Amino acid sequence: MDARAAATEFLARIGSKPLIMGILNVTPDSFSDGGLYSHAQAALAHAREMAQAGADIIDIGAESTRPGFAPVSPEEEWARLETPLAAVLRGRIAPVSVDTTKAEIARRAVALGAAVINDVSGLHGDPALANVAAQSGAALVVMHHCAQADPARDIVQDMRAFFARALARATEAGVDRERLILDPGVGFGKTVEQNLIAAKSAAALKQAFGLPVLIGLSRKRFIGALAGAPTQNRLAGTLAADLAALQAGADIFRVHDVAEHAQAFKVWSALVRA
First to last CA, the chain: 38
C-beta separation of 96 from 57 below 8 A: yes
CB atoms within 10 A of CB 220: 22
Q: Which residues contact 274 (CB under 8 A, 6 or more apart)?
A: none
CA dihedral sign, ordered 118, 10, 210, 131: positive
Give the number of C-alpha atoms closer than 13 A to the C-alpha of residue 14, restricted to the C-beta side: 21
Q: Which of 179, 200, 219, 220 is catalytic?
A: 220
Q: Any catalytic annotation for residue 220?
A: yes
Alpha-carbon distance of 55 to 23, in angstroms, equals: 9
Measured in whole angstroms, the distance separating CA 192 from the mean position of its chain's CA atoms is 20
Q: DSSP string spanning 161-187?
A: HHHHHHHHHHHHHT--GGGEEEE--TT
Burial class (CB in 10 A: 0-12, 13-18, 19+), 127: exposed
Indicate the angle between helix axes 155-173 and 129-136, nearest 10 degrees: 60
Name, in order, each residue with C-beta under 8 angstroms of 6's C-beta and a sequence gap of 6 or more: 95, 96, 113, 114, 115, 138
* Cα–Cα distance for residue pair 21/179, rounded to 1 Å: 17
Active site residues: 220, 254
